[in-house]
């Protein structure tokens, strides 16, 4: 169970770091995949900030993986699952693409909860 929890955590962490790098270097291209129907033309600065925060969000679980405490990592993953959950709710609230809201943000949150439970119970 622990190995699966660590693998899921690594996938999520590396995935959000990759997304963050895209928000820094290709913000208009990656923003279209967030789920909103319109991306403001002058949003590059905000998207760059989002990229830096996404990278930081991905580094936190990686640091805890190196530290080697699965329970601490599990709690961080459980708490961090609210980030994609809120992304999903924001996309839905603003009448964005439901497939992306549920299929990307909702699924990411669910995977994080599963990883957290595996780490906490393992």
Helix, strand or coil, per DSSP, at residue 34: coil
| More confident position, 116 or 28 | 116
Residue 67 has pLDDT above 90, yes or no: yes
Residue 61 has pLDDT above 90, yes or no: yes
User: Would you kindly state where each structural domain of the chain is located, as residue ranges?
Assistant: 1-121
Query: What is the rounded (10 degree) CA torsion for 22, 27, 29, 34?
Result: 80
Q: Residue 40: its pLDDT value, please?
A: 84
Query: What is the rounded (10 degree) CA torsion for 28, 29, 33, 37?
Result: 50
């Amino acid at each position: 169970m622990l190995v699966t929890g660590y693998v899921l955590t690594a996938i999520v962490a590396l995935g959000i770091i990759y997304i963050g790098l895209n928000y820094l270097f290709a913000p208009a291209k990656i923003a279209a995949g967030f789920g909103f129907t319109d991306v403001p033309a002058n949003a590059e600065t905000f998207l760059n900030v989002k990229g830096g925060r996404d990278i930081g969000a991905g580094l936190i679980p990686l640091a805890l993986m190196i530290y080697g405490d699965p329970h601490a990592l599990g709690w961080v993953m459980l708490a961090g699952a609210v980030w994609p959950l809120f992304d999903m709710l924001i996309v839905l609230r603003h009448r964005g693409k439901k497939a992306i809201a549920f299929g990307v943000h909702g699924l990411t949150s669910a995977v994080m909860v599963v990883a957290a439970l595996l780490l906490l119970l393992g």
